[in-house]
Amino acid sequence: MRKLYVDIPEGQIHVRRAGRGPVLMLFHQAPLCGAEWDGVMQRLANRFTVVAPDMIGHGESCDPPHECTMADFTRTTLAVMDALGIERAALAGNHSGAALALSIALARPERVNRLAVSCEMLVTQAQIAAFVEKLRSQPLSRDLPCDEEGRFLLEAWERYRRLAPTASAALRFRPFVIGQAARLRPYDAHHGVLGWLSEREHIWDLRCPLLVLGAEHDLFFDRARLAEVERRLPGCRSVVIPAAGAMSAYEQPGAWAEALNDFLQG
């Protein structure tokens, strides 16, 4: 794996890149970074050129001058593709990264040949409205106020445990540390993504081959919705990832890699 920076008008974006062959871009969830995909990249680099950028404001990438909307994340990611000479690629993403991948596929369909997203992209507007309402009384872990006794760290750890209930503490620790380091950044993608998802159910506007991956312990996992998307969108398929939650790319990188390989080679 090679790590590099590419220049875009807003600054520098940090990128992981490995392998050779057709290009597959992997987009991480907020507030994490491209390290979410390390295990998947290792398994796919013998068949694909795998590229995992840190979204602007995340990981080792620059901070934006203001909180980004989905349009901002889409534009800056397309600028990264341009800087790397990537005209067209398969895209895959988890949680916030899935929203980014879907947004690019809708805004610039000529740049995307196949799309793979996690099941959060099947959420209804009512579910998103309820989630946003909940944030008013229970802020994101990055927004928990610091206290001298470190209780905010215990609360954040408990939230990560609930997000990945079947993962070991050792496996959960890496995304937890990355997430806590994100407290030092001014913004992450959560509010931009939630605002975009609240506009409408974007998935039904898609017109390219689609794979939806549902981790069985994910907050938004719904077998009925997986079946519905297969019925309503021609060329769509779904895969259930067992024994995994929101951190499924960390928890089950082999399952992600197998599903992506089958989808992209099919």
pLDDT in tens, 65-109: 999 999 999 999 999 999 999 999 999 999 999 999 999 999 999
Backbone angles phi, psi at 163, to 5 degrees: -70, -30
CATH number of domain containing 203: 3.40.50.1820
Using the CB atoms, write b or e for 123-136: b if 16+ within 10 Å: beeebbeeeeeeee
Please give the pLDDT value at position 266.
78
Percent of the chain with pLDDT over 70: 100
Q: Which domain holds residue 158?
A: 2-265
- Sorted by sequence, the CB contacts under 8 Å of residue 165 that are 6+ apart come out as 217, 245
DSSP 163-224: HSTTS-HHHHHHHHHHHHHGGGSS--SHHHHHHHHTT--GGGG--S-EEEEEETTSTT--HH
* Number of structural domains in the chain: 1
Is residue 250 predicted with pLDDT exceeding 90?
yes
> Which pLDDT score is estimated for 134?
87
* Residue 16 pLDDT greater than 90, yes or no: yes
Closest CA to 37 of 10, 19, 21, 22: 19
pLDDT in tens, 173-226: 999 999 999 999 999 999 999 999 999 999 999 999 999 999 999 999 999 999
> How far apart (Å, rounded) are the C-alpha atoms in residues 249 and 61?
21
Residue 138 has pLDDT above 90, yes or no: no
Residue 217, both tokens: 């312990």
